[in-house]
């Protein structure tokens, strides 16, 4: 567990990200893919159902023994809350109400944020669009680990700890890499979420609050679903910076595993991404891909060639327009 990873820096490249060129090529060959763009009318109803399920769970856990609160927190709450973060990811691309009703998407994301307990939906939107526009961009893409993460989490044991602490690093990374002025919508997001958390405590006590917050932290840490954090862009094979996952957990995660397809066509809702792969199969079938997020986590920890440094980075050229 003490072997140090061989990498001492990120994988610096001097080419543009591959997704824009592939998108143009695919659309030229298959223009019918444009018909897949636009909002998903089912998304808002699925999200409302998930919020209702968690509200019911808050009520049910209030009278359980603590051991059962913790059990259901990991076994159920963590799965639903991680899935909800990926619903917010979908909403950040305006797939709930469309681009013409952009603010409805922002308010709906704040609503979807309620059972997660941690106010992040408004900030996520701002930083996630930068991730798409400037994938791997030095000083812009906050999905890239910091220098400290790459330097310190360099053994198997430390990588294991790093995966457990993923929610913490995703929270503090923007402040280190690309801090932005706080927006009015972010303040509203915080105010609404804290008010909800206090109301939940006042109504039903501490157990639902622990179930909510611990479920979010555990679901985004050492959890099979959190394998997508590593699977999406960590360089398991040299020269490849985005990877897709085609396993069954896509059913719980709005098809976020179709990640090459998503970066090629971010305006296509997750429900329709399998259709992109089907139409343009020759562009995706031969790309590196996964069928197990659990195996991704295991391989990342145990492979001494992999670490937080295993990411493609690039110096951005020209004008950078941030959200």
pLDDT at 95: 97
pLDDT at 275: 98
Q: Are 246 and 295 in contact (CB under 8 A)?
A: no
Residue given tokens 């998503």 in the structure block? 262
Query: How much is the pTM?
Result: 0.94
DSSP 3-state of 236? coil
**What token pair was written down for 99?**
């681009």
* Average pLDDT of adjacent 10-residue blocks, the chain of 323 residues: 75 94 97 97 98 98 97 97 97 96 96 97 94 95 96 95 95 93 96 98 98 96 95 95 97 97 98 98 96 96 95 86 69
pLDDT at 209: 98
Q: Are 276 and 19 in contact (CB under 8 A)?
A: no
Strand 244-245 vs strand 289-290: parallel, antiparallel, or unpaired? parallel
pLDDT at 200: 98
- Burial status of residue 183 (CB atoms within 10 A of its CB: 0-12, 13-18, 19 or more): middle
pLDDT at 120: 94
Nearest alpha-carbon partner for 94 in 226, 244, 259, 270: 270
Which helix (H) or strand (E) is 289 found in, with range? strand 289-290
pLDDT at 1: 56
Nearest alpha-carbon partner for 235 in 144, 167, 174, 173: 144
Q: Quote the CA–CA distance of 153 and 4 in Å, as a whole number.
A: 9
pLDDT at 317: 82
pLDDT at 265: 98
pLDDT at 320: 74
Q: Quote the CA–CA distance of 145 and 97 in Å, as a whole number.
A: 32
Which helix (H) or strand (E) is 227 found in, with range? helix 227-233
pLDDT at 321: 73
DSSP 3-state of 13? strand
């Amino acid at each position: 567990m003490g072997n140090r990873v061989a990498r001492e820096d990120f994988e610096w490249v001097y080419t543009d990200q591959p997704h824009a060129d592939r998108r143009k090529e695919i659309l030229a060959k298959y223009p019918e893919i444009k018909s897949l763009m636009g909002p998903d009318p089912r998304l808002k109803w699925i999200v409302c159902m998930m919020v209702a399920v968690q509200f019911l769970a808050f009520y049910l856990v209030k009278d359980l023994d603590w051991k059962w609160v913790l059990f259901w927190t990991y076994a159920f709450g963590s799965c639903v809350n991680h899935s909800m973060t990926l619903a917010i990811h979908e909403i950040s691309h305006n797939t709930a109400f469309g681009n013409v009703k952009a603010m409805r998407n922002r308010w709906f994301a704040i609503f979807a944020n309620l059972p997660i307990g941690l106010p992040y939906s408004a900030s996520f939107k701002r930083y996630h669009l930068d991730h798409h526009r400037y994938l791997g961009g030095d000083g812009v893409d906050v999905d890239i680990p910091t220098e400290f993460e790459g330097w310190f989490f360099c053994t198997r044991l430390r990588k294991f700890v790093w995966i457990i602490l993923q929610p913490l690093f995703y929270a503090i990374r923007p402040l280190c890499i690309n801090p932005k002025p706080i927006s009015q919508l972010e303040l509203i997001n915080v105010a609404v979420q804290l008010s909800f958390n206090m109301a939940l405590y006042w109504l039903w006590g501490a157990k639902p609050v622990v179930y909510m917050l611990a479920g979010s932290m555990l679901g985004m840490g050492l959890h099979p679903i959190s394998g997508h954090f590593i699977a999406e862009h960590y360089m398991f094979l040299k020269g490849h910076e985005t990877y897709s996952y085609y396993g069954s957990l896509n059913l719980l995660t709005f098809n976020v595993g179709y990640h090459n397809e998503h970066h090629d066509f971010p305006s296509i809702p997750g429900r329709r991404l399998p259709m992109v792969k089907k139409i343009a199969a020759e562009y995706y079938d031969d790309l590196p891909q996964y069928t197990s997020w659990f195996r991704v986590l295991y391989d990342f920890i145990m492979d001494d060639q992999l670490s937080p440094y295993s990411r493609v980075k690039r110096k951005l050229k020209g004008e950078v327009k941030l959200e």
